[in-house]
Amino acid sequence: MTHHRTLHLPIALSALAALLCACTPQRNEHDIVIGVLADLTGPTADVGRPYHEGMLAAIDDLNAHGGIRRRHIQALSEDYGYKVPTAEEKYKKYVQASVVAVQGWGTGDSEALRRKVAGDELPFMSASYAEVLTDPEQSPYNFVVAATYSDQMRIALDQIAAADPQAQVAVFHHDSPFGNAPIADGKQWIASRGYQLGYQEYAMKAGATDYVASLQRAQQQGARYLIVQNVASPAATLARDIAAQKLGMKIVCLNWCSDELFVQLAGPAAEGTWMVQPFAPPSVPQPGHEPLKQYCAAKGIDFESAGVHFVQGWYTLQVMAGGLAKLLADGRELSGKNLRGALETMGPVDTGGVIGPIRFSAASHRGATAAGVYVVEHGKLVERARALTPRS
């Protein structure tokens, strides 16, 4: 037995440690650091990319205008491919980098990180509008900027009940926590409002190339209306299948397929689709679109094709920036706990009509309850009703 054989493990480990140290990013102490989790390559990447770009654009724009009280925002952004364990891994990295807040993405990761951000006292916003995230009792550090999926579902059901009180409704949803989020609340809404609507759910398997079999079952149910809680690409496949089979069902998209991408992918099959969308799309101009238009013009981006999710990312970040501005204006220390307090007390955030005023309080982290309803006409999103809330 020799002495030197025992040396290889420590040498290898110290080499590894040296490599890891070299990888730690450098940053300016004065910057406000936030972590961003994005889906750029996973199953929701089609809408995840524009949302992420909108968020980074808002940061870029804020920094170009001097930052928040002369402090720049630095975003640490990583793709997590819609995988919850990867999101947790990236989140730990952000905690290590001493971020003051995190911008997440999906329902799965927002729910999984809910308790972690509460334990670590880091405010968390995401593009998930699941009901559980609005309750400070259950999710003390999560903030939801738009009408929840459940509220969107209620608005959709209100619309359907007004148009056809006896209709059968089929809910087609992403097979994940995101897709399941509004299902039970929709059923309860029908019962509590005394609607005569039929209601059945159908899970859409990820990566399916057609949904003919599920549609057959929906046809047997006698479904006239299909509420879709999924992202644009599978929803477009669904629309094409309906058109090809001449089933004559009307699609009602919630938030994540209510966009230009769906219209583009579904083509003529998208005509007449209803869309419940909390954020005003570029095709329905609002005063709040102006700063985005200016930014896009300066950067050579086509605002119309950047789409509604770009707007969504932009304004979600603006809300968090509002909290940061209040925190720094009050002269308090920059910490997650103080930011949470600032978000709860900053008063309504005006988005220039893009989305109704967003307001949080210590009792509720439900930023808004209203969503617009749009209809697809000649390949464009046309406003059908503005700022609807579930009927009380």
Partner 1 sequence: MSATATGIFHDSYASELRLCHTRAEKRRLVLTLALLSALPWALDGYWLGVVNGIGIAAIGAVGLNLLCGFSGQISLGHAGFMAVGAFTSALLSTRLGLPAPLGIGAAVLLSAALGALVGLPALRVEGVYLAIATLASQQIIEFIVCRWSWLTQGRGFLDVPRLGFLGDHVSRLTFERSWYWLILGVATLALLGARNLLRSALGRSLMAVRDHDVAAATIGIDVARAKLTAFALSSGYAGLAGALCAQYSEIVSWERFTLDVSVQYLGMIIVGGLGSLAGSVYGAVFIGLLPPLLSELATLASSGGSSWTAQLPALQLGAFGAAIVLFLLFEPRGLARLWQRALDYFGSWPFRY
Taking the least distance from each CB to partner 1, the nearer of 112 and 212 is: 112
Smallest gap from residue 111 Cβ to partner 1 (A): 5
Interaction between residue 9 and partner 1 (CB under 8 A) = yes
33: β partners: 74
Q: Which of 29, 65, 70, 96 binds partner 1 (CB under 8 A)?
A: 96
> Could you give the 3-state DSSP secondary structure of residue 155?
helix
H helix intervals, 196-302: 212-221, 232-245, 260-266, 290-299
Angle at 80 between CA 76 and CA 84, to 5 degrees: 120
Identify residues 339-378 at the interface with partner 1 (CB under 8 A).
Answer: none
Q: Which of 18, 27, 66, 89 binds partner 1 (CB under 8 A)?
A: 89
* Other beta carbons within 10 Å of 50: 23
Identify residues 224-283 at the interface with partner 1 (CB under 8 A).
Answer: none
From its phi and psi, is residue 259 left (phi > 0), alpha (psi between -120 and 50) or beta?
beta
Interaction between residue 11 and partner 1 (CB under 8 A) = no
Q: Which of 31, 40, 200, 389 binds partner 1 (CB under 8 A)?
A: 40
**Residue 47 and residue 40: Cα distance in Å, rounded?**
9
CA-nearest of 78, 104, 81 to 93 is 78
Interaction between residue 28 and partner 1 (CB under 8 A) = no
**Residue 36 and residue 316: Cα distance in Å, rounded?**
12
Interaction between residue 26 and partner 1 (CB under 8 A) = no
Taking the least distance from each CB to partner 1, the nearer of 337 and 386 is: 337
Q: Which of 63, 72, 86, 212 binds partner 1 (CB under 8 A)?
A: 86
Distances (CA, A) of 346 to 72, 148, 182, 231, 319: 20, 21, 29, 32, 10
Q: Which of 27, 93, 217, 391 binds partner 1 (CB under 8 A)?
A: 93
Smallest gap from residue 24 Cβ to partner 1 (A): 8
One-letter amino acid at 253 equals C
Interaction between residue 60 and partner 1 (CB under 8 A) = no
Taking the least distance from each CB to partner 1, the nearer of 52 and 224 is: 52
Taking the least distance from each CB to partner 1, the nearer of 15 and 382 is: 15
Q: Which of 6, 26, 192, 392 binds partner 1 (CB under 8 A)?
A: 6
Taking the least distance from each CB to partner 1, the nearer of 328 and 339 is: 339
156's enclosing H/E stretch is helix 149-163
Distances (CA, A) of 217 to 153, 173, 200, 222, 223: 21, 14, 10, 9, 9
* Binding pattern for the stretch 158-177 against partner 1, x by CB under 8 A and - elsewhere: ------------------xx
From its phi and psi, is residue 282 left (phi > 0), alpha (psi between -120 and 50) or beta?
alpha
Tokens of 20: 């890891």
Interaction between residue 112 and partner 1 (CB under 8 A) = yes
Smallest gap from residue 389 Cβ to partner 1 (A): 24
Identify residues 179-208 at the interface with partner 1 (CB under 8 A).
Answer: 180-181, 184
Interface positions with partner 1 (CB under 8 A): 1-2, 4-6, 8-10, 13, 17, 19-20, 23-24, 40-42, 78-79, 81, 83-86, 88-89, 92-93, 95-96, 108, 111-112, 114-116, 119-121, 132, 176-177, 180-181, 184
